[in-house]
Amino acid sequence: MDDDEAAVRERARDSFARMARRAYEAAHGEPVSSAPRGIRWRIEPKAALSLALALALVVALVWWSARPLDATTVGADPVGSASVSTAPLVIDVAGAVASPGVVELPAGARVRDAIGAAGGLVDGADGSSINLARPLVDGEQVYVAVAGEHSAGSVNVNAADADALEALPGIGPVLAERIVADRAANGPFASVADLERVSGIGPALVARLGGLATA
């Protein structure tokens, strides 16, 4: 064995020993005790290099698992969160309330909030005609009927213009325009219940239109 080969092997042994010491200290949290070097390992340089790389990977994994958490990631939603609108809601409150008119409410408000902003129900109001827990849609009309209220005629949702549609309870300017636009894009409504295909109109509103609208 020439001097160059002996030097390479010596450096490989020293590197291997240092990596082993670091891996042990990282895993056990205490230094390796200094002991007299007795046995001198015989190892080929390529094998020593492979072992050193393996130990380096072990050290990296130990360090990674023991690292402190980034405060900015604690409690973070791994899949992200949906964008939620915080814009205020503009609602037209009509019918049997103390102060009918347009009110502005925070996002997430419900029908009961709109009625409260309009002064509350008046005597004779038909509270069963509305769902107080329903979330509001920006631009809609909340209409509170008087007990025993009936319409003089029915509004044909396939023929009425936006102004005529606004006469229906719960249909404000925005919903009226949506009905007209949907009708133009998708054809006539097969029934009053078919109005549910319009954004902002659900089963509760359709139920309020019974006897007041036709298709």
Length of the chain: 215
Q: Are 199 and 175 in contact (CB under 8 A)?
A: no
Quick: pLDDT tens for 176-188: 999 999 999 998 8
- The CB-side HSE value for 130 (13 A sphere, CA atoms) comes to 31
Q: What is the CA radius of gyration of the chain?
A: 38
Task: Report the range out of 63-67, 84-88, 175-179, 203-207 with the highest average pLDDT.
Answer: 175-179
Q: What is the mean pLDDT of residues 8-17?
A: 69
- The DSSP 8-state label assigned to residue 107 in this structure reads T
Averaged pLDDT, 37-46: 54
Q: Is the pLDDT of residue 120 over 90?
A: yes
**What does the alpha-carbon distance between residue 115 and residue 117 come to, in Å, rounded to a whole number?**
5
Which residues in the chain belong to E strands, given as ranges? 89-95, 101-105, 141-144, 155-156, 213-214
At 134-163, the pLDDT tens digits run 888 888 777 787 876 654 457 888 888 898
Q: What is the pLDDT of residue 144?
A: 81
| Statement: the pTM of the whole predicted model exceeds 0.85 | no
- Rounded to whole angstroms, the Cα distance separating 4 from 10 reads 10
Q: Which residue has the tokens 């025993």?
A: 148
Residue type, 45: P
**Inter-residue contact 129 to 208 (CB < 8 Å):** yes
Q: List CB contacts of 2: < 8 A, sequence separation 6 or more.
A: none
Q: How many CB atoms lie within 10 A of CB 202?
A: 15
